[in-house]
Amino acid sequence: MSKLPAKLADDDGAIFEQLFSNVTPLPAHGRVVHPVERRKPIPQRQLHDERAAATDSLSDHITRDIGTESGDPLVYLRNGLSPQTLRKLRRGHWMIEAELDLHGHTTIEARESLVQFLNGCLRRGARCVRIIHGKGLRSKNSEPVLKTKVANWLIQRDEVLAFCQARQADGGGGAVMILLKADAEKRD
């Protein structure tokens, strides 16, 4: 490198000009350069607070008899819906689009998982889902602890139109089939 005059040593812009004065720019490549899209930040704290609020809003107190005490299969149909809807759900009219397995979950973990699962299903537009709560064979007194709790939590969610015990091929007494509101029904 050649030595620069003393007067240019103090001026960075002049030094730059001197060093790159014989550089030839590359020819234009003729391609479109798209601007980089910046994604909006995900408000993790807000999402956490919303999940916590939704989870906390689900009560563990039984609000209705839905057949869990007498050992009858779980059955629920929101007021105003046709019994035909429940018949279709029982017969497997809708394809299962998502599934949640709650085996090994505590009540608190199960409630949080259920809320996150249902919220995810709604975002994706899933209509028919299955939740496996287990038959309770390994629980104290061999009773299905989560079965009653899951049914009670589902009744409290507005987007749940109906649910019933799964067909034997889909889990029988250890699972529940749920019909969620379709997109058009959510807007009403």
- pLDDT tens digits, residue range 121-139? 998 999 999 999 888 766 6
* Count of all residues that appear for the chain in the document: 188
User: Over 90: is that where the pLDDT of 21 sits?
Assistant: no
Closest CA relative to residue 63, chosen from 50, 52, 76: 76
CATH code of 44-187, in short, is 3.30.1370.110
- Helix or strand or coil: residue 32? coil
| 160: β partners | 180
**DSSP line for 120-156:** HHHHHT--EEEEE----TTSGGG--HHHHHHHHHHHT
- Break the chain into its structural domains and give their ranges: 44-187
Model pTM greater than 0.75?
A: no
pLDDT for 188 equals 42
Terminal C-alpha separation, the chain: 75
pLDDT in tens, 54-86: 555 666 655 555 554 545 678 999 999 999 999
